[in-house]
Structure 1
Amino acid sequence: MEQLEKETNDNLFQRQKQLFPKWFANHMKILRHQGSPEAIDELYSLASRPDRRVSLYHSCVVNGIQFHTKDRDDRHTTQNSGVLVLGDHYEDMIDFYGVLLNVVVLDYIFNNQVVLFKCEWFDTDPNKKRLQDDGVLRCINVDNKWYEEDPYVLASQAQQIFYVNDPKLGSSWKVVQKVLHRHIFDVPEQTTTNDSENDNEDPTTEEAYQENDSTDIVWSVNQDCNVLQYQRAYGDPSYIDIENVVDHGRRFENDDLTAFINDQDETLVDYCSEDNENSDEEDHDSDSDSDS
């Protein structure tokens, strides 16, 4: 930006958007050739640009939360495609509301990957009165779209939200619902200077996990580099099979918000079922002992 300002202040952001990739690539090549410690593998791989062959998926798990594309949601009774991202709109930080269209995985050299969400954004420009907030409920108009030329965000930037029909304002309006997911905790990262303390640090401060007890699979998404992997118990890590992620979405029945809030999470049902089975076995053993 400083170099562009020396030339002219006209269209700074557009010129930076167009010229930055080439400048970044040349800059990193020079630093790499000079042996600069700033030219780390991650930055150099980004500067080298990704493979032209990209992978598209309709589902993935990010930080323990499952996202589906809008196309997949339309064919199911669950909703997992709502996306909320904090972004810059004419130098003002606002909330962008949208739906997930595609999960794009880019492959770089040195086995690096970047996971992007391609989204469709609803036009909630504050000057156009397409967002209403009475302090209790926030409603948005979903008829108009914007930022169609800028649909991509990092998967780690996205928060999951849900849209509920607004019977008061009509079908063009949706009530935005933010939900605190069960068994997902926002744990702040802990920074220590003692290596021994780092060794004993709870891994949940670095990564978010979701376990499937029936298959001994642990889903893992690193918050920094967004690498999607899974690891079987006592096995080597492998790429995540995003096509076959278990559906843990929230269910909507007749747009009933009460049913939406009270819907039981499948994982918890499994846990309760296992506990009941164990308790039944214990009761049976105790009855046998008493009979003998």
Structure 2
Amino acid sequence: MNKYCFNDFKFQTEEVSRNKKKNNSGVYIQGDIDGTGQTIEYYGIIQAIIEVRYLGWPKKKIVLFRCEWFDPSHRGTKMDHQYNIIEVKHTRKYRSYDPFIIAQNAKQVYYASYPLRKDKADW
């Protein structure tokens, strides 16, 4: 699949969203608590949408997003408290292999670059 609608949101893979006015491939999911007691927040881009169907009765299925994640550490993600914006450094990727999430747990986000700030070209 390359599109999936859930809770009035239309999710798309990065390939489908590329070069369109609306980019619906950005996702956010809240992760586990780290060693400092802080919740880890993951931001990423949907690479593939997979529907898994289970045989038998009743028929069951689950939809998974395979995502490419940005670095969730302070080097790759930070909060701009003045404007209440999360900044993501798109050149820093998450190193661990953990690409799959359940689609119903995802929240949609939109990524926009800083148009006039050359010092924030990577953010």
TM-score normalised according to structure 1 size: 0.37
Q: Distance in 2 between matches of 1:104 and 1:172?
A: 30
Larger fraction in strand: 2
Q: CA deviation at 1:145?
A: 0.7
- Gap change, CA 1:109 and 1:147, over 3 Å in 2: farther
Decide which of 63, 66, 70 is 1:118's aligned counterpart. Answer: 66
Give 1:134 deviation, angstroms.
2.5
C-alpha distance 130-156 of structure 1, shift in aligned 2 (>3 A):
closer
8 Å Cα contact 2:77-2:86 kept in structure 1: no
Where do 5+ consecutive residues of structure 2 fail to align? none
* SS of residue paired to 1:156: helix
Higher Cα Rg, which structure: 1
Of 37, 41, 51, the match for 1:105: 51
Cα offset, 1:74, TM superposition: 1.1
User: Could you say which structure has the greater relative contact order, defined with CA pairs below 8 angstroms and 6 or more residues apart?
Assistant: 2
| Structure 1 position 155, deviation (Å) | 0.4
Between the aligned residues of both structures, percent identity stands at: 26
CA distance, structure 2, for counterparts of residue 113 and residue 90 of structure 1:
31
Moved over 4 A (4+): none
Q: CA–CA distance in 2 between the matches of 1:89 and 1:147?
A: 18
Taking the aligned partners of 2:43 and 2:4, their CA distance within structure 1 comes to: 19
Residue 163 of structure 1 aligns with an amino acid whose one-letter code is Y
Larger helix proportion of the pair: 1
Matched, 1:143 2:91: yes
Equivalenced residue count is: 116
* Structure 1 spans left out of the alignment, 5+ residues: 1-56, 174-292
Deviation at 1:129, TM superposition (A): 6.1
Q: Distance in 2 between matches of 1:63 and 1:148?
A: 29
Could you say if the C-alpha distance between residues 78 and 62 of structure 1 is closer, same or farther in structure 2, counting changes exceeding 3 Å? Answer: same
Alignment partner of 1:172: what SS? coil
Specify the alignment match of 1:172 in structure 2.
Answer: 122
Give, in angstroms, the shift of residue 164 of structure 1. 1.0
Equivalent pair of 2:67/2:99 in contact (CA under 8 Å): yes
